[in-house]
Structure 1
Amino acid sequence: MHTIHGKKFDLNLLLAFDALLRERNVSRAAEHLGLTQSAMSHALRRLREFYEDPLFVRIGDAMKPTPFAEEMGDSVLEIVSAVQHKLLAQASFDPMTSTRVFSLCMTDMGELVFLPRLIAELQKVAPHCRIRTSQLPSEHIVNSLERGDTDLAIGSHYIQNPNLFQQELFVHSFCTIISRAYPADELSLEEFLGMKHVSVVLSDSSSRYDQFIDELGHRREIYLTTPHFITVPMILEKNPSLIATVPSELGQTFLRYNAIKVIKTPINSPSLHLRQYWHPRYHHDPGNIWLRQLVKHLFDQYMS
């Protein structure tokens, strides 16, 4: 880092630097810290003056860190993490007064099935908190949790990392969905395998959600692969020759839109385990603890 030369430094500026490095956007960084945009701009100006470096340069809509800022990044993350999770480990979290923005990684399935319940509960018990969601490939989730960009990852992710904490929320099965225009309400195995299938794959490195069909040795035609659950019922509605096998809770949610009907999958499907994941760095963070407990409570209620 640059020599201080007797300059006075406000350690709060490290929080501003950390937020800017994460968000790459002045407005979102201000939102993350609960500051006004002008206050965040003022903090950035003070940082630039102190280090005699632009630190962040606007490119399009993003603020790209300079080489010096990137070099500082790991040191700042280490300092901020130490302050938040060692010195402030005993700090309390008051959901009624907190303005924290909780970041959740979940699929569009999670957003459709669970997010409305979480929002409704948060508005009652943490009225000033807000939520930001993201979808990430499985291979990027661990890094996002470690950096604090994501508070919790919720879903049926196949995250093979022994360093992450995880908690099972509930177990569900699969169902098959088909256009309401399809003339039958059940399918034989032969009919099922003879249809064209729509299959969801979240990223290039992920398995198909309905991979168990192939693993059991059944041959079928995958007509469409998509990373989005939410588009499937609209596609099936207009294409009665297509079929999809999805998590059962999602199938029940789709029924409300009257575009598809749910039928029994003519194959014994395995259980799908829904979990929440978090990083050890944030295991003792009061806000993260509170959020984990709230999520678990809502899922317990959902299944009861």
Structure 2
Amino acid sequence: MASIKVMNMIHNQFDLNLVMVLDALIRERSTTRAAEQLGLGQSAVSHALGRLRRALDDPLFIKTAGGLKPTPRTEALTPAVLQMMEIVRNELHSQPRFDPARVERCFRFCMTDMGELVFLPPLMERLRREAPHCTLQTLQVPQARIAETLESGEADLAIGSLRAIPQGLFQQQLFTHPFVTIVATDAPVGERLTLAEFEAMDHVVVSLDGGRGSAYDKAIEELGVRRRIFLTTPHFLLIPPLLERQPNLVATVPRELGTVFARYKVVRVVEPPIGLPRFELRQHWHPRFHYDPANLWLRKLVKETFADYPE
């Protein structure tokens, strides 16, 4: 019955702080010591005690030579107040746990079709082994919407080489990767393109946001190389069938992707005629979930999965 009265007081007054003050007064039997325990001024504790007296229609404590003496009403409420505050303290100080072997949930990644082809398979293998009841979903989100997608919890992580890191996101480098050129298997070129061949062929570039191209395309242009960009597309997976049908087409892609494409025997990897800078692949997440146990575990899983990835 006493616990019901305390809960009704909280419901009616909408102020858990009053219960905290009552708990401190019960323990300390002094407004001065209660104020010190709570980190408040003595006047604030006295004011709260006044509100408690009005809310419960009882003096609650009587001043005596030995300190504050609880009234019968306070003594009746004491077990419920102490129990309630113990629950609150335990909940506030307990660390939520994430048990990947037991939990059932879907982890969602923002990644391109290239990420799905190259990076998703090793992540799936690791997840199946360590979190057998969890599932995966990939989302292809425009770069302008990545931050809000992560903030809303619609996605847990974004993995890729973002041209401009959305403001406010955390990031962690996974590895760096070089770029190679791919051509059709029957393209009339050798294992290394000459600059003249490179400039004479029609180029396919990938642009995820509809712009001219990616960061490595800009790097090529900054080297003074003249290219005829015949097709701009947001889809990496479109490249191999296009090159197979059009041997005069050429594309420059991350090496890992070129290696996967070459396994299907429709394209082959050749060395570009110019040196290209390496680019970083990172995972990104929103500060809202920086301390979330599930997100912490997932980031660790991703980092460890690619810890020994070939540079």
TM over 0.5: yes
Asked if 2 retains the 8 angstrom alpha-carbon contact of 1:103 and 1:131, the reply is: yes
Check the 8 A contact 1:138/1:206 in 2, yes or no.
no
Evaluate the alpha carbon distance shift between residue 280 and residue 87 of structure 1 in structure 2; reply closer, same or farther with a 3 A threshold: farther
TM-score by length of 2: 0.67
Which of 103, 106, 109 is the aligned partner of 1:101? 106
Equivalent pairs, count: 220
Q: Tell me which amino acid in the other structure corresponds to 2:98.
A: F
Task: Please report how far the alpha carbon of residue 160 of structure 1 lies from its aligned counterpart in structure 2 after TM superposition.
Answer: 2.9
The superposition leaves residues 14-71 of structure 1 with CA deviations (integer Å, 9 ceiling, x where unpaired) of xxxxxxxxxxxxxxxxxxxxxxxxxxxxxxxxxxxxxxxxxxxxxxxxxxxxxxxxxx
Select 1:193's aligned residue among 189, 199, 214: 199
Determine what percentage of the aligned residue pairs are the same residue: 50
CA displacement at 1:225 relative to structure 2: 0.8
The gaps in structure 2 that reach 5 residues or longer are 1-10, 12-90
Structure showing greater radius of gyration is 2
Alignment map for 1:66-145 (pairs within 5 Å) = 90-145=95-150
Give the one of 266, 274, 285 matched to 1:267.
274
Say if 2:219 is the partner of 1:218: no
Residues 100 and 128 of structure 1: CA distance in aligned 2, closer, same or farther (over 3 Å):
same
CA displacement at 1:286 relative to structure 2: 0.4
**Deviation digits for residues 74-106 of structure 1 (CA, Å, limit 9, x no counterpart):** xxxxxxxxxxxx969821100011111101000
Match among 196, 202, 206 for residue 208 of structure 2: 202
Moved over 4 A (4+): 86-89
CA contact (8 A) 2:158 2:284 kept: yes
Q: Does 1:285 align with 2:281?
A: no
Q: Does residue 239 of the first structure (1) align with residue 246 of the second (2)?
A: yes
Q: Which runs of 5+ in 1 are unaligned?
A: 1-5, 7-85
The yes-or-no answer on 1:251 pairing with 2:261 is no
Q: Normalized against structure 1, the TM-score is what?
A: 0.69
Q: Is the 8 A contact 2:160 2:281 kept in 1?
A: yes
Q: Following the alignment from structure 1 to structure 2, what is the Cα–Cα distance between the partners of residues 166 and 272? A: 15
Contact 2:146 2:166 in 1 (8 A): no
**Structure 1 residue 183, shift from structure 2 partner:** 2.5
Q: Is the 8 A contact 1:198 1:224 kept in 2?
A: yes
Q: In the alignment, residue 184 of structure 2 is paired with which amino acid?
A: S
Q: Give me the whole-angstrom Cα distance separating, in 2, the residues matched to 1:142 and 1:121.
A: 26
Aligned-partner SS, 1:197: strand
Q: Distance in 2 between matches of 1:238 and 1:88?
A: 63
Q: How far apart in 2 are the matches of 1:275 and 1:104? A: 12
